[in-house]
Amino acid sequence: MKILVPKECDSEERRCALNADAAARLTELGAEIFVESGAGAGAGADDAHFSSAGANIAGSREDELATTDLILSVGRPTARDIAQMRVGAVYIGFLDPFNHVETLRKLAERGVSALSMEFIPRTTRAQKMDALSSQANLAGYAAVTLAADHLPKIFPMLMTAAGTLSPAKVFIIGAGVAGLQAIATARRLGAVVEAFDTRPAATEEIKSLGARSLRVELGDTGQTENGYAKALTEEQMTRQREAMKRACANADVVITAAQVFGRRAPVIVTSDILEAMKPGSVVVDLAVDNGGNVEGVEPGSISERNGVKIIGHRNLPGRIATHATQVYASNLVHLIEEFWDKESKTLRLDLEDEIIDAALIAHAGEIRNEKLRELS
C-alpha cells in the first residue's frame, strides 16, 4: 500500500501527519511511505529525517496524489487536490465537516473514502487513536504558557526581601481535556486555580488537580455520548454568566475551553464580563477555531479591551508542532495498525467495526454520516 504525507494546504500549519518514528512503524507493516519535500519542516523534521526512517521523498504532488492509496494529513484537502486523487483512495485527517460540508461532498463525488479524526469515538479501545484529545491536551498547556507570557505578573507566590508577591489567580471555563491540562499546567506554575464546567462529573476531576470547582446551580445538565458538554438553555446561560462575571472579575487570567461537538462554541465571556475584569488581566480563548467563547474575539490575533488582553490565536497545538506531530502521528499509526491486513498489506475498512463506522464519513461515493448528509 502506498501512503502519502503531503505538505499541509494551510500555509500556517506547522504540524505534520507523520514523524520519522511513525514512518518507520508503517514501513515495518509493509507500507510504502512517500513524504512531500518540506512536509515536516515546521515540526523540526527535514527530508533527511524521513529518509533515514525508510520513507521516500515524493515527486510532484499531482502525480503522487493520482497514484496513492492512503493520504495522511492534519487538515483538509483543497478542491484541486481532491480532483487529483485516485478514485478509491482513502484520506485521513481533521476534516471539520460540519463547517466544511463542501469539501466532504467533493471527496464523496470523487469516490474517495474520508476518515475524519474528529469522529473517532471516545471509547477505551479507541483511546490510542483519539487525536482530538491528544491535540486538546497540548492546546491546554499552550494556553497557559501564552497567558503567562502576556500577564504582567508571575504565576507563583514569591517571598523576597522586598516583600511577598501574591500568586496569580487563574479561572478556567470548561474542564474537558484541554481545560484539565490548563488546570494542571497553571497549578505547576504556582497559580491559584478555579475552574467551572457544566458537567457534574467534571467536579471531581477539577478537585483532583488541586483546583477549586466553581459551583453554579444550573439544574439539569450533563454530557453527550462523545463526552462533550450539552448545550445549555438560555436561562441556564444567564445564571452561568452571572457566576462567570464574579469569577472573571477576581481573576488575573481567564482561559475558556467550552465547546459543543458539531456546533458553534457558546459565547460565555460577554462584553459585560470583560468590562468587569481588571486592567492587565489576560483572556485566552481556546475555542476560537470553533467561533470562540469570548464575545468579539478576533480570531488569529491579540486584541485589548479596557486594558484586558484577549488572545485569539488559532491552532494552539501547532505552536508546539514537534510534540503535536509526535502524538498525532502516533494516533494515526494506532488507527492504521488496528485495521491493517497483514496478508494484503492494506488498510481494511471494516464497516461493521464501531470505530470505522463512526469515523468513515464518506465512502463509495456517498456521505455516510446522517447529520452531515442533511447539511449537504
Catalytic residue among 84, 113, 116, 133: 133
Q: What share of the chain is helix, strand, coil (3-state, %, to 5)?
A: 40, 20, 45
Question: 3-state DSSP call for residue 170?
Answer: strand
Clarify whether 141 is annotated catalytic: no
Clarify whether 252 is annotated catalytic: no
C-alpha cell at 296: 468579539
Catalytic residue among 127, 223, 303, 376: 127
Clarify whether 133 is annotated catalytic: yes
C-alpha cell at 235: 436561562
Clarify whether 134 is annotated catalytic: no
Integer angstrom CA distances of residue 198 from 123, 130, 237, 292:
21, 23, 10, 17
CA dist., res. 266 & res. 168, Å (int) = 26
Say if residues 89 and 112 touch (Cβ distance below 8 Å): yes
Exposure string over 150-177, b if 16+ CB within 10 A, otherwise e: bbebebeeeeeeeeeeebbbbbbbbbbb
Identify the helix (H) or strand (E) that includes residue 57.
Answer: strand 56-57
Catalytic residue among 91, 141, 228, 328: 228
Clarify whether 301 is annotated catalytic: no
Residue 6 contacts by C-beta under 8 Å, 6 or more apart in sequence? 36, 39, 58, 61, 64, 65, 71, 73, 81
Catalytic residue among 25, 73, 130, 368: 130
Question: 3-state DSSP call for residue 325?
Answer: helix
CA dist., res. 351 & res. 131, Å (int) = 20
Catalytic residue among 61, 122, 187, 239: 122
Residue 203 contacts by C-beta under 8 Å, 6 or more apart in sequence? 197, 213
The catalytic residue positions are 122, 127, 130, 133, 228
